[in-house]
A and B are shown apart, each in its own frame.
Chain A
Amino acid sequence: MSAPSPFLFEFLIPLGKIVAVLFYPLVMVIVMIWLERRVVALIQGRLGPNRVGFEGILQPIADAVKIMLKEDIVQREADTFLFNVAPALVMFSSLLAFCFVPLGEPIRIGTYELTLWVARSPVGLLFVLGMSAISVFGVIFGGWASNSKYPLMGALRSVIQVLIYEIPIGLTVLTVVFFARSIDLVEIVRAQQAGKVWYGLLMPISAVVFWISGIAETNRAPFDLPEAESELVAGYHTEYSGFKFAFFYIAEYAHMVLVSSLVVLLFFGGWLPPFASVPTLAFLHKVPGFLWYLAKIMFFLYLYVWIRGTLPRYRFDELIKLAWKWLIPLSLVNFLAVVVLKYAL
C-alpha cells in the first residue's frame, strides 16, 4: 500500500468524522427513542412498538419519514424568523456539542493515528456545557415566537429551570476539574485512568448531583415542566408541526445522549473498562473501549427511561426548592469537602 496522500489525511478523514458526528448522535437518538418506547411499555406491562422491523426497531424511522413529510405550519401570529430559527438552534447546538465529545483513545492504523474526536480543545468541557446551555435559547425563542400562551409558559419555566440547575452542574464539574487539573475531556478520562479510580466512586455526591441536574437541564421527567403534557398541552413546542417539531424532538433526545456522555466521561471513566486494578478481570481490557463507553451511556439512558416510568412530575415551586434547598447547598458543601480532603490527605 502506497503512502496515503495528504488529501486523505487532511480532508477526507476530517470530513468523514464530521459526517460521523452528525450520524452518531442521530443513531443514538433512534436507538434511544426505540428503547424508551419499549422500556416504558414494559414498565407499564405493555409490549410497545413491535410491528415494523425486528421488535419494532424501525419505528423511529417510520416516525421520522412520516413527520418530515408533514405540513409545516407557521401560524399567522407567530414571529416567523424566530419561530424558524428556534428548532435549528436547538438541533445545531446539540449536535455541535458532540464535536467535542471524545469517543475513545486514538487508534493507530499503520503510521496514521486516528483520533476518535472531531475537535479537541483544552477547554472542551466548557464548550460542551456552553453548547448545552445554548439550546435553551431555542426553547425560549420557540416558546416566545409561537405567540401563544402555553408555549410561552413552557418557555418561562424552561428559562428558570435551566438558570437554576446550571449552578449545581457548574459546582460539581468544578470538583472533577479540581482533581483532573484539566478541562479537556480526554485529559479528564486519562486522569481517571492514571489515578486508577473513577471520579464517580471518588465523589459520589458530585456524580449524583450532576446527574439530577442533568435530568433537569434536559427537561425530562420528573423535571419535564416546560413540556408538561397534563398542564401545558405540549409546552414550548405546542405550535410546532412537521419537520420543526421533529427537530425539537430529536434535539431533546440528543441532549439526553449528551448529558449521559458527560456523566460517563466525567464520573465513570469514559471508555475505561471497569475493575482496572483487579488482575483476574484483566480480560475486560480486551473489549474495545468504545463499547464500554457505549454500554455506560446506554445505562444512563436507561436510567432516564426508568425514572420517567416511575416518578410523578415536580411542581414548579418544588423544583426550585429542590435546587435551592438541596442541590446547591449540597454541591457547595461537597466542593468544600473535596478541597479539604484533597489537601488534607
Chain B
Amino acid sequence: MSFKDLELNMGPQHPSTHGVLRLKVKVDNEVIHSIEPVVGYLHRGMEKLWESLTYPQIMPLTDRLDYIAAVANNFGYALAVEKLAGIEVPKRAQYIRVILAELMRISSHLAWIGFQANDIGAVSVLLYGFEDREDFLDIFEAYAGGRLTINAMRIGGVPFDLDAALIARIRAALAGLPHRIREIETLLNENRIWKHRTQGVGFLSAAEAVDYGLTGPCLRAAGIPWDMRKDIPYSSYEDFEFDVPTTDRSDVYGRYLVRMQEIRQSARIVTQALDRLPEGEHIAKVPRVLKIPAGEVFHTTEAPKGELGFYIKSNGTDKPERMKMKSPSFINLQSLPLMCRGGIFSDIVGILGSLDIVLGEIDK
C-alpha cells in the first residue's frame, strides 16, 4: 500500500457524510489531491413517482426531500402549484406559512450547527443544537402532529389555524432562543481550535460561487446578499423587516456566522408575523379534485439550504405531467472539490458540513 496517492472512500457509510454520500478522495499523506462526490445512494425516484400522483398527494412526499427542513419544501411546492393554478392564498395563510417556514429555518440551522460542530469534534454542541431544536419540533408537533415530516401546508393555504395557545408557545420558544444561541456562540466563536479549523478553510471566491450556482447561506457568506425573500418576495415577505446577513470571509467560519445570524433574523420575522397576524381564512377554496390547465411554471423560494425551485408542467389533468425540483444541496455540492483544493484531509468533513447538504434533497 502506497502512502502517496492513497485513495480513500468516504462513504456511503461514513460518520460525517451526512447520510449516504460517497466521496472518492485521493490524498497524499494528509493533503487532498482530488475529491469526487458520488451521489444517488438515496435516489428514490421521487420525480417519477410524482407523475403518478395528484397534486395534493404530492405534498407529503415533498417533506421527504429536505427532511431537516420539511416545511420549506411544502412551501416551495405549494407556491409553485398555486402560481400554476392561479390560486390566491388568503393573507392570514401567507403569514402562517411564513411563521412555519421561518421556525423551520431556525430548527434546520440549529441542527446544522450541531452537525458541523460534531464533524469538527465538538460533540457536545451536537447535543445542544438538537436539544434547542426540540422546542421547535414541539411546536410543529402541536401544530400538525408530526415532528419531522409534518406535511404542514396545503394547496391554497395551511391545514390548521394558529390558536392563541400555540402562538404563546411559539413566543415562549423564541424568547428562550437568544440565550441558547449565545451559549453555543460562547463555546465556539472565540474558541482557538474552532477558529483554526474553520477560518480560511473551504474558501470560494464570490465569482466562483455564482458560476457554480451556489445559493443560500454559502453564497451569502461569500458576500452576495442573494436571498429570494428579498429579491422576489413571495408570501408577503415584503411585509417584514429583516436583514440578509452576509460576510466577506467565504470560508467555513463565515458560513457559520451567517447561519447564526440567520437564526436571529428568522426569529425577528416570526415575531413580526405573530404581531401582525391578520384575521381571515387560513385556506383558500380549492376544488377537491384539482385539475390544472396546461401550462408550465418555475418558482423558487429561499429554503434553509439555498434557493429551492419547483418546475411543474401540467397537462389539464389532476396529475402533473412533469415536475422537477431544483435542489440547492445538489448544486451546492458540486463546488465541494473546488473548496477542498489544497486542503488537508480533516478539512473535508468541515467543508462538507458547512455546505449543509441533505441527501434526501440531493438524490430525490
A and B: direct contact (Cβ < 8 Å)? Answer: yes
Stretch from B56-64, B151-159, B192-200 contacting the other chain: B192-200
Stretch from B45-53, B72-80, B116-124 contacting the other chain: B116-124
A241 to B346, CA, bound (A): 25
- Check A315/B346 contact, CB under 8 A, given A224-B121, A229-B15, A230-B121: yes
- Check A150/B122 contact, CB under 8 A, given A44-B127, A228-B346: no
How far in angstroms is the closest Cβ of chain A from B117? 7
Q: Check if A315 sits within 8 Å of B127, measured CB to CB.
A: no
Most chain B beta-carbon contacts within 10 A, residue among A147, A221, A222, A230: A230
| Contacts of A58-109 to chain B: CB distance below 8 A | none
Chain B contact residue count (CB 8 A cutoff): 35
| Contacts of B114-158 to chain A: CB distance below 8 A | 117-124, 127-128, 131
A43 to B131, CA, bound (A): 13
User: Residues 318-333 of chain B: 1 if any A CB is under 8 Å from the residue's CB, otherwise 0?
Assistant: 0000000000000000
Task: List A contacts of B191 (CB < 8 A).
Answer: 311-312
A153 to B344, CA, bound (A): 13
A153 to B2, CA, bound (A): 11
User: Per a CB cutoff under 8 Å, which of B14, B122, B131 touches A312?
Assistant: B122
User: Per a CB cutoff under 8 Å, which of B1, B187, B197, B347 touches A310?
Assistant: B187
Query: Counting CB contacts under 8 A, is A181 at the interface?
Result: no
Task: List A contacts of B347 (CB < 8 A).
Answer: 315
- Check A45/B349 contact, CB under 8 A, given A150-B8, A228-B121, A230-B118: no
Q: Check if B124 sits within 8 Å of A315, measured CB to CB.
A: no
User: Residues 242-276 of chain A: 1 if any B CB is under 8 Å from the residue's CB, otherwise 0?
Assistant: 00000000000000000000000000000000000
Query: Counting CB contacts under 8 A, is B297 at the interface?
Result: no
- Check A312/B16 contact, CB under 8 A, given A152-B1, A153-B6: no
Q: Chain B: which residue is nearest A150 at the CB level?
A: B8
Query: Counting CB contacts under 8 A, is A318 at the interface?
Result: yes
Task: List A contacts of B189 (CB < 8 A).
Answer: none
Q: Check if B127 sits within 8 Å of A312, measured CB to CB.
A: no
- The A-B contact count (CB < 8 A) is 90
Interface size classification for chain A: 20 to 34
Q: Check if B128 sits within 8 Å of A312, measured CB to CB.
A: no
- Check A313/B14 contact, CB under 8 A, given A44-B127, A231-B349: no
Q: Check if B121 sits within 8 Å of A313, measured CB to CB.
A: yes
A317 to B201, CA, bound (A): 13
How far in angstroms is the closest Cβ of chain B from A159? 12
How far in angstroms is the closest Cβ of chain B from A312? 4
Query: Counting CB contacts under 8 A, is B236 at the interface?
Result: no
| Contacts of A280-321 to chain B: CB distance below 8 A | 308-318
Q: Check if A317 sits within 8 Å of B344, measured CB to CB.
A: yes
How far in angstroms is the closest Cβ of chain A from B29? 7
How far in angstroms is the closest Cβ of chain B from A162? 16
Query: Counting CB contacts under 8 A, is A46 at the interface?
Result: yes
User: Residues 105-119 of chain B: 1 if any A CB is under 8 Å from the residue's CB, otherwise 0?
Assistant: 000000000000111
Task: List A contacts of B348 (CB < 8 A).
Answer: 231
- Check A314/B8 contact, CB under 8 A, given A152-B1, A221-B121: no
A45 to B345, CA, bound (A): 32
How far in angstroms is the closest Cβ of chain B from A242? 20
User: Per a CB cutoff under 8 Å, which of A44, A156, A231, A316 touches B16?
Assistant: A231
Query: Counting CB contacts under 8 A, is A149 at the interface?
Result: yes
A247 to B197, CA, bound (A): 32
User: Per a CB cutoff under 8 Å, which of B3, B121, B128, B344 touches A311?
Assistant: B121
Q: Check if B197 sits within 8 Å of A315, measured CB to CB.
A: yes
Task: List B contacts of A336 (CB < 8 A).
Answer: none
Task: List B contacts of A314 (CB < 8 A).
Answer: 193, 196-197
How far in angstroms is the closest Cβ of chain B from A163? 15
Q: Check if B197 sits within 8 Å of A312, measured CB to CB.
A: yes
Most chain A beta-carbon contacts within 10 A, residue among B29, B120, B121: B121
User: Per a CB cutoff under 8 Å, which of A149, A315, A317 touches B8?
Assistant: A149
Query: Counting CB contacts under 8 A, is A233 at the interface?
Result: yes
Query: Counting CB contacts under 8 A, is B30 at the interface?
Result: yes
How far in angstroms is the closest Cβ of chain B from A271? 34
Task: List B contacts of A230 (CB < 8 A).
Answer: 15-16, 118-121, 349
| Contacts of B335-357 to chain A: CB distance below 8 A | 344-349
User: Residues 180-214 of chain B: 1 if any A CB is under 8 Å from the residue's CB, otherwise 0?
Assistant: 00000001100101101100000000000000000
A316 to B1, CA, bound (A): 22
How far in angstroms is the closest Cβ of chain A from B123? 7
Q: Check if A318 sits within 8 Å of B1, measured CB to CB.
A: no
- Check A316/B196 contact, CB under 8 A, given A43-B124, A231-B349, A311-B122: no
20 new A-B contacts, CB < 8 A, other than A156-B3, A231-B16, are: A43-B124, A44-B123, A45-B128, A46-B127, A147-B1, A149-B1, A149-B8, A152-B1, A228-B121, A230-B121, A231-B345, A233-B14, A309-B124, A310-B122, A310-B124, A312-B120, A312-B121, A312-B122, A313-B346, A318-B193
| 26 residue pairs from A and B, CB less than 8 Å apart | A40-B123, A43-B124, A45-B127, A149-B6, A149-B8, A149-B9, A153-B8, A153-B30, A153-B345, A156-B29, A222-B193, A224-B121, A230-B16, A231-B16, A231-B346, A233-B14, A312-B117, A312-B122, A312-B194, A314-B193, A314-B197, A315-B196, A315-B344, A316-B345, A317-B30, A318-B197
Q: Which 9 A-B pairs rank lowest in CB-CB distance, beginning with the nearest?
A: A313-B121, A44-B127, A230-B16, A312-B122, A312-B121, A312-B120, A315-B346, A230-B119, A312-B193
Mark A residues whose CB is within 8 Å of B. Answer: 40, 43-46, 147, 149-150, 152-153, 156, 221-222, 224-225, 228-231, 233, 308-318
